[in-house]
Structure 1
């Protein structure tokens, strides 16, 4: 492939005019023959559902500016870019940056964000056709930075990118930031008991006790996906989601219509685990299904039962991943309580560009110290893990 090939990058405020096949040829080429996408969140159907449901767009603080890179008539790279009017729904926190910037007389918002809205899950952010990785990634980065500079925006942020993208971004002059999450890794387990056998005796007994307590809530637990999912299941989960969203974020990020679209177009991407008591759903956990990863996303309930949260969100997800032969369970942001349940600390990555030179130097210095602190925290937490033998999880 020639290095001097001419690439044209365009910014679009909607996916309506984008051919789904062009987007997914970059986002999930592995699914072209009907297979499961590695990352369900960057697929055309997921991002379009966010847009069509009004979860992003006017009034949300997430204004789409999708980038498409073309070589001639061929789309060779895409990325979900948004103009952000706040820092909500990102899970990589820059509120202190915004405060410092504005205290110094600058205007931090709007900023640009390459991300999957409301989704703290690691995945490729520079989505390229196979064979176009280097050229496509460089074109997307250069275009995003140019848009920010031309419009005198404070900054550009690429969140929850892969480790490989983080290293490539640093080589292109972007600043690298690390954070930390807890992921469960499947070390070739044939069953949940195989996983338990790798834990210390005390942790193993505690998990068994929690599971017994949860499963005595007075009903049954069901795991639903595909055609087993029915509108009434989404209606129940919407009630759970509203309650959780109101308590955690002030209001839910996703609209009710998003879940309607999910039932129509994404039910094969979803594993919904519900606790039913007397035929009524009283709690639930929503997971999205990747080829190698099960992504835990939302939890909610209308009745409190001891340990039911741990059972639906963590233990049922582990059982599902083992049954599916999946490599990881990503259970979302934060949560030191996950450590005792077999979810180990791993680094997550983001990239940042700041227009103001002085502010950029200050941020770079801060990030250097923060990376060292994150590495130290991961090392310490790993030593406190529940396993008989310490598992050092690979960074993605």
Structure 2
């Protein structure tokens, strides 16, 4: 199957035209904006996800030859990582188990947009066959370079199906999402809870108010330089802690 494609491994997303990458993304079942060419390029050019921070990008792409020229058939960003930070999937117990048995857990291979635990398509492909060929190329790269493990995070149903067909292990995850069930206001929401939960929430909100904490909602275009600087400091402090 993979013989029908030419596989390219490049260290710069700029080697692939944005319209080709985003056009392929648009054809997926879950085209997350965080897999767009511009977003992934910003992660690289800003040095947020760079070798200096433990993220070495390898752009894996499969090309199909046509009389009009090569066509992008499948692609994904592959990061070779020396740590597990910025993934929001906590596999530190795995790393510890490897170390206890004298094995190397890092470097590991990761397919996911950096710092973004948002589900969406990861293995971009024009067909199921191309997706399987892309996954086979990823596994071959890991084996050739002695990379112990490949991780595809927050993938789409198509991605999970491809991984299952390839014999990869799947791990379950639990996320909690709050959804408005038609409550008129916050008090209406509280009325749907038990008395104990209402009491705890009111106590917590009162403590926040007594501490002098206030909230201000601002849209991106309306944010000042000071707002962005504060946002950056908060993110940096969170990661340091």
Q: TM-score, normalised by structure 2?
A: 0.80
Q: Structure 2 unaligned runs (5+)?
A: none
Q: Distance in 2 between matches of 1:203 and 1:97?
A: 36
Residue 239 of structure 2: aligned partner: 245
How far apart are 1:149 and its partner, in Å?
Answer: 1.1
Provide the aligned C-alpha RMSD in A: 3.1
Q: Is residue 2:225 matched to residue 1:231?
A: yes
How far apart are 1:212 and its partner, in Å?
Answer: 5.4
Deviations 1:9-65 (A, max 9, x none): 3222111222222222233459xxxxxx96332222221111111112222111001
Task: Give the direction of change, closer, same or farther, for the CA distance of 1:122–1:191 in structure 2 (3 Å limit).
Answer: farther
Q: TM-score, normalised by structure 1?
A: 0.52
Q: Is contact 2:142–2:150 with CA below 8 Å preserved after alignment?
A: yes
Higher relative contact order (CA 8 A, sep 6+): 1
Q: Structure 1 unaligned runs (5+)?
A: 31-36, 248-396
Q: Distance in 2 between matches of 1:211 and 1:76?
A: 52
Q: Is residue 2:69 matched to residue 1:75?
A: no
Task: Give the direction of change, closer, same or farther, for the CA distance of 1:194–1:28 in structure 2 (3 Å limit).
Answer: farther
Q: Distance in 1 between matches of 2:212 and 2:177?
A: 30
Residue 271 of structure 1: aligned partner: none
Q: Distance in 2 between matches of 1:6 and 1:16?
A: 24
Residue 7 of structure 1: aligned partner: 5
Deviations 1:264-285 (A, max 9, x none): xxxxxxxxxxxxxxxxxxxxxx
How far apart are 1:165 and its partner, in Å?
Answer: 2.9
Give the one of 90, 93, 107 matched to 1:93: 90
- Total equivalences in the alignment: 236
Deviations 1:290-346 (A, max 9, x none): xxxxxxxxxxxxxxxxxxxxxxxxxxxxxxxxxxxxxxxxxxxxxxxxxxxxxxxxx
**Residue aligned with 1:86, SS:** coil
Q: Distance in 1 between matches of 2:112 and 2:53?
A: 15
Off by >6 Å, runs of 4+ in structure 1: none
Q: Is residue 2:98 matched to residue 1:126?
A: no
Residue 107 of structure 2: aligned partner: 110
